[in-house]
Structure formats: structure tokens, C-alpha cells
Amino acid sequence: MRSHFALLVVLLSLLASGTALAAGDVQTHPAATDFVVGDRSAVNETPTNGTTIQITPRANGDAHWNVSMDFSLHDENETEAFKRLGRDFKQGDSSVGFSAETFREIAKREQAETGREMKIRSVNRDYTVSNETGMLTLSFIWTNFTRVNGDKIYLGDAFLLDDGESTWFRSLSANQNLFIHSPDEYEIQNSNFGHNNGTITLSGPMTIRSPTGGGRFIRVTYAEDSRPVEQSTPLLAYIAGFVILVGIVGAGVYAFTQRDRDGPGTDSEHTDEEPIPSTTPDTDPEPEDDEPNLELLSDEERVEHLLKRNGGRMKQATIVKETNWSNAKVSQLLSAMSDSDRIDKLRIGRENLITLPGEDVTDFDDE
């Protein structure tokens, strides 16, 4: 039991030192840096399940990164040791696990290489323990990671160094996996690797070369999704239909019982009376709220106005139609509003349902 505890401590110490070395290499000699999370020899000889890297580009050129490493925990001592180190990692202890500083150093170099301003922001460090497995997770937004030109997004140049002569992401070792997901409302137009439903999956061990290195390198071109939207009836639509049906049946039963109670043979107080004239002036009621001048609204305020006018929820495609904006502009705007908690996005089939925060979507009818 003590040997397992010591082994885990040694492993995480090696991970910390290996990551610190990588960050130093980026500063001194970026072209010779391999992207390695932790010490490979240590990983191969210890009870680790592997490293997972997930990259999700966005329509505005930013990309969301999620890097995680998980470990097998065999007893209570190993579990408690991992929890203590996990708490230190979550609180930002740079000596534990992998650090966002590694990526900040790479982003500085890539900013000079690509000419695009790059930052590492919205950094989140966390750990979890579940089913005898511990996981360290680092997530962040890498701004301007991709190049955007019109309705196209180009991913790949942020991996290259020295005008394409080399790459800092050289390899994936055993038990390391890379997933590159497609942005919302975009599809892969061209890629050096195959994909499954818009996600490129690379698994180690494998070498990733630069364009001049004679091998395959990471390059993807995305275009706005031009495929027709599939007509589907999600579960929420069935629930909404059932609720409406119950309401109609209930109204019919009520009307039938009222007719039997007030029909022929009963004493109705107003059967032979003249209708009471209305005292309400014959004028159209004033609207409660005047329609705002759309030209004076910001893009975000216009989206919120549309949502309020449509019961607090709309399909993303309907927002594109109502505003006459491009798909790329709407996708970028909604992603930014979602990040600032001004709206919520819910994926339904191949469409996004956009709602105001806290809006109940159980009665959403997918027309």
C-alpha cells in the first residue's frame, strides 16, 4: 500500500518537472520542442490511463482547449494522495501537473509567426475522482488560434514555427489522443486526416511533421454547413404535443358540461335579455410597449429583443432569417453571448435552440 502511495507521488512530481521543462524549451528553443504532457518513461511504467487533448474551434477564430490526464487509483492511500495534489492543482500550484504557462509561451511565439494577436484566457484547472480513476483537467480559450477569411476557417498555421519549417506539436506518445471538433454550423471542407461526423481523431504513438518535413501535418479547412436541415421530431416536441392535446380535450369536456347545464329546460337568468352594451370605447388599445428603433440597438440587444418577442426562445436558423445576417456572424455573436451568460444554447438534432437564461424549453415545439 505504501509503495502505491509513493509511486503516485513520484509520478505526479515527474509530470510537474516534465511540464516545466517543456515551458522552458519553448522560451529558449521553440523549434525543438515536442508537446509532451508529463515524462513519457514515467507514464509508460505507471498506472496511468493516458492523456486526452480536445480542440474546438469557434467561428470568431478562437479555440477552446481541454487537456486532461487520468490515473488508476488502487487503494485509499493513492486516492487521498491524488485528492491532495488535485486540490493544489485546482488552486493554481504551478509545481503540480501541467500548466497554462506552457501554452502562453507557445502562443507568444505563434503570435509572432502568424501575425495574429493571441492570448490564453478563461483558464480553468480542476480534478475529479470517479470509479477508481483520478483526472487532472486544464481548459482555456486560445484567441485567434485559427485564421478566418469570409465563410472559411483555416486551422493549422498555429502549430507551425520558423515559417513552416518545423512544428511544436511533433508527436503523440502511447496513450495520448487528440480530438479536433468542428465549429458549430461548420463542416470540414478539406483535411490531411480523416474524420468521423466532423471530429478528427489522432491516437499515439504517431509523429506529426511540418509541411517541409515530408510527412502529414495538421491542417483543416472548415466551411459554413450547407447541408439541408433534417426534419426531425425530438422528444420535446412529442411532450409539447401531448400537453396541447390534453388541454384541448379538457376544454372540450368543460364546454360540453356547460352546455348541458345551461341548455333547454333550465332557468337561465339572461336567456331573453338584450345584450348589455359595452362601455369600452371603440378604439384600438395602445400597445404596452412601443417597438424599439432597431437601428439604435446593439447586435446583442437585437437578439435579446427577438427572443423576448418570440417567447424567450428561437432556433438559430430563424435568428439568421429574421436579422438577415450571415450564418458566421450569428454563430460568432451567439457564442460570445453564451460565454457572457446573456443566452443559453441547446443542441437539438442538427440545430441550436437559443433561449434567454432560465427559459423553460420543455414546451418547445420544433416546427
Residue 293 has what pLDDT?
81
What is residue 254's three-state secondary structure? helix
Q: Is 197 left (phi over 0), alpha (psi -120 to 50) or beta?
A: left
**Residues 317-362 pLDDT 10s:** 999 999 898 888 888 899 889 888 899 888 877 788 899 987 776 6
Write b or e for each residue in 30-44: b if 16 or more Cβ atoms lie within 10 A of its Cβ, otherwise e: beebbbbbbbbebbe
Residue 152 has what pLDDT?
94
Contact yes or no for 97/124 (Cβ under 8 A): no
Rounded Cα distance, 257 and 265, in Å: 15
Contact yes or no for 153/147 (Cβ under 8 A): yes
Rounded Cα distance, 143 and 197, in Å: 25
What is residue 119's three-state secondary structure? coil
Residue 40 has what pLDDT?
32
Residue 13 has pLDDT above 50, yes or no: no
Q: Find, among 332, 336, 309, 335, the residue nearest to 322 by Cα.
A: 309
Residue 327 has what pLDDT?
86
Residue 21 has what pLDDT?
31
What is residue 150's three-state secondary structure? coil
What is residue 178's three-state secondary structure? strand
User: 130: pLDDT confidence band, cut at 50, 70 and 90?
Assistant: confident
What is residue 326's three-state secondary structure? coil
- Determine what percent of the chain is predicted with pLDDT higher than 70: 69
Instruction: Give me the helix-helix angle, 327-339 and 316-323, nearest 10°.
Output: 120
Residue 338 has what pLDDT?
87
Rounded Cα distance, 249 and 125, in Å: 53
Rounded Cα distance, 46 and 59, in Å: 40
Which helix (H) or strand (E) is 55 found in, with range? strand 48-57
Residue ranges of domains in the chain: 2-224, 230-244+293-367
Mean pLDDT of the chain: 76
**Residues 180-213 pLDDT 10s:** 999 999 999 999 888 998 999 999 898 887 777 6
What is residue 161's three-state secondary structure? strand
Q: Find, among 177, 217, 182, the residue nearest to 196 by Cα.
A: 182
Residue 67 has what pLDDT?
92
Enumerate helices (H) and strands (E) in the chain, giving the number of each. Answer: 8, 17
What is residue 225's three-state secondary structure? coil
Residue 269 has what pLDDT?
46
User: 227: pLDDT confidence band, cut at 50, 70 and 90?
Assistant: low
Residue 303 has what pLDDT?
93
| Burial of 163: CB neighbours in 10 Å, binned 0-12, 13-18, 19+ | exposed
Residue 267 has pLDDT above 90, yes or no: no
Residue 261 has pLDDT above 70, yes or no: no
**Residues 132-148 pLDDT 10s:** 899 999 999 999 999 99
Residue 172 has pLDDT above 60, yes or no: yes
Range among 9-13, 224-228, 304-308 with highest mean pLDDT value? 304-308
Residue 285 has pLDDT above 70, yes or no: no
Q: Which CATH architecture has domain 230-244+293-367?
A: Orthogonal Bundle (1.10)
Rounded Cα distance, 271 and 75, in Å: 84
Residue 85 has pLDDT above 50, yes or no: yes
First to last CA, the chain: 60
